[in-house]
Structure 1
Amino acid sequence: MCGRFAFTASLEELLAVLGLIDVEDFPPRYNIAPTQPILLVIAGNRREPGSNLPDRRAMLARWGLIPAWAKNPADMPLNINARSETAAEKASFKAAMRHRRVLIPASGFYEWRRVGRRPQAYWVRPRSGGIVAFGGLMETYAEPGGSEIDTAAILTTGASPDIAHIHDRMPVVIKPEHFSRWLDCRTQEPRDVADLMRPPEEGLFEAIPVSDKVNKVANTGPDLQERVEPAPELTAAPERQMPGDAGQLTLF
């Protein structure tokens, strides 16, 4: 799964890698948590005159997809992830999988490995640095009062061999050469992009053990990504706030 991630790249790098024509500047975010706003890249409606760049634009959405048919979001699970193997058939995701695939830029993600009964946090980042783009889904939910909110989920797949010792799942990573095909929901049906939702090649990521400060939403500094020695195994689990727990920031 993916319960926390970070995006700390410069605006220039975002524009260059994602092929965006323009986007507002933003501060680095070291601990992005469920229900918080996340940056999405979606297919646009037209190409700018004289531009050789692909037609893509950026937008913000709440991390935690709410299906359009939901009557009461409070009764729905917090859909921060969607399994890529079944998303095209699941009621919560199949419409978005067909019509609203997105890219979610990231500098890396956090994952937890059980060490005895204690979870050890890891910062998982591209070995060569830079940006990766997670495959994602978007849905716009209309509240009973008439207001609308854009929501999103990160697709997951089986972990690559260098991550599997930490967790058996990880985000789907879409390579730059496949961005256009992934975002093309007009001609590319879910079956046409199924080959893109595979574990990445071994060696793409490196996993760095970090402190459990990342467990708390209030901790948002770059120190979250500093290497620490993994803690020894404990027989009792300490009190902690794990990703996805109640108490996250909300856009509602």
Structure 2
Amino acid sequence: MCGRYTIVVSIEELMLRYMSDMPTNRYHTPRYNVAPMQNVTAIVHDGQNNRIGQLRWGLVPSWASDDKIGSKMINARSETLLEKASFKNLIQRKRAIVPADGFYEWKQHGGKKQPMRITMKDGSIFSMAALYDTWTSPDGGKLSTCTIITTRPNSLMEDIHDRMPVILRPEDEALWLNRDHNDVDALTGLLTPYSADEMKAYPVSPLVGNVKNDVKECIEEQPVLF
């Protein structure tokens, strides 16, 4: 699964990276420990331009009776995407990118767990594939939420965990965001493990285990615990 990540770059860097118009939320701050059920920065395409905005992490389908289901829908498995009622219709028109510069996973050894941060070797921003939907509450309020798609691990990740987020190749981002493109076979063909040669992993502090710890110390390299 993908349950924690980081995005510590500035809003200006995000705008430049995704050629986006001014975001709806201009008060972006570095995030060292993003967790499910929090609002996250996301990129969608409005038919003309990329837009940076906020979605709550944990998908609530438009047909859901309440929003409690969101905590169980933080990830969507690429292999079964088209079999799930919550996801199969979203793949055609409600696709998003969740930008990140690292994500966390816990490597198990015996009875211990070592938190690891996984990044690009050059530290650059990357794009996690996501789906989104908008739910209307009984009182008419709107809630826009998302889920991050996961896939099987690449050779770097398989020693750490059996899943990893789908990271889109830069050349595939426009296709993923294009709302006019609804070739499901082509879209699902993008949901593959990213090249391990371009990524690295390093141990970090157990601080990241507590969602209240959203501090720079979370991303600093630490000695392994075992």
TM-score relative to the length of structure 2: 0.94
* Structure 2 counterpart of 1:245: none
Q: Kindly state the Cα deviation for residue 187 of structure 1 after the two structures are TM-superposed.
A: 2.5
Point out the more displaced range, 1-10 or 178-187: 178-187
Q: How does 1:1-20 map onto structure 2 within 5 Å?
A: 1-20=1-20
Q: Kindly state the Cα deviation for residue 88 of structure 1 after the two structures are TM-superposed.
A: 2.1
What stretches of structure 1 move > 3 A for 4+ residues in a row?
none
Among 134, 138, 145, which residue is 2:139 paired with?
145
5+ residue gaps in structure 2? none
Structure 1 contact 18–176 (Cα < 8 Å) conserved? no
* Structure 1 counterpart of 2:106: 112
Per the alignment, do residues 162 and 67 of structure 1 end up closer, same or farther by CA in structure 2, a change over 3 Å counting? Answer: same
Point out the more displaced range, 184-193 or 215-224: 184-193
Structure 2 contact 128–167 (Cα < 8 Å) conserved? yes
RMSD across aligned C-alpha pairs, in angstroms?
1.4
Per the alignment, do residues 75 and 201 of structure 1 end up closer, same or farther by CA in structure 2, a change over 3 Å counting? Answer: closer
5+ residue gaps in structure 1? 47-54, 233-252
After superposition, the C-alpha distances for 1:95-117 in whole angstroms (9 at most, x for unaligned) are: 22122010111011000111212
Larger-Rg structure:
1
Please give the secondary structure, in 2, of the residue aligned with 1:139: strand
Amino acid at match of 1:183: L
Q: Kindly state the Cα deviation for residue 75 of structure 1 after the two structures are TM-superposed.
A: 5.4
After superposition, the C-alpha distances for 1:181-203 in whole angstroms (9 at most, x for unaligned) are: 10123233321212211101122
Among 203, 214, 223, which residue is 1:229 paired with?
223
Q: Kindly state the Cα deviation for residue 77 of structure 1 after the two structures are TM-superposed.
A: 5.3
CA–CA distance in 2 between the matches of 1:203 and 1:101?
Answer: 27
CA–CA distance in 2 between the matches of 1:215 and 1:99?
Answer: 34
Q: Alignment identity in percent? A: 34
* Structure 1 counterpart of 2:40: 38
* Structure 2 counterpart of 1:87: 81
CA–CA distance in 2 between the matches of 1:144 and 1:167?
Answer: 40
Please give the secondary structure, in 2, of the residue aligned with 1:145: coil
How many aligned residue pairs are there? Answer: 224
CA–CA distance in 2 between the matches of 1:22 and 1:85?
Answer: 35
After superposition, the C-alpha distances for 1:4-59 in whole angstroms (9 at most, x for unaligned) are: 0010112232122112122224110000011000011111133xxxxxxxx21111
Structure 1 contact 17–176 (Cα < 8 Å) conserved? no
Please give the secondary structure, in 1, of the residue aligned with 2:72: coil
Among 189, 193, 198, which residue is 1:204 paired with?
198
Please give the secondary structure, in 1, of the residue aligned with 2:2: coil
Structure 1 contact 82–153 (Cα < 8 Å) conserved? yes
Higher helix share: 2
Structure 2 contact 6–103 (Cα < 8 Å) conserved? yes
TM-score relative to the length of structure 1: 0.85
Structure 1 contact 88–98 (Cα < 8 Å) conserved? no
1:58 and 2:52 aligned: yes
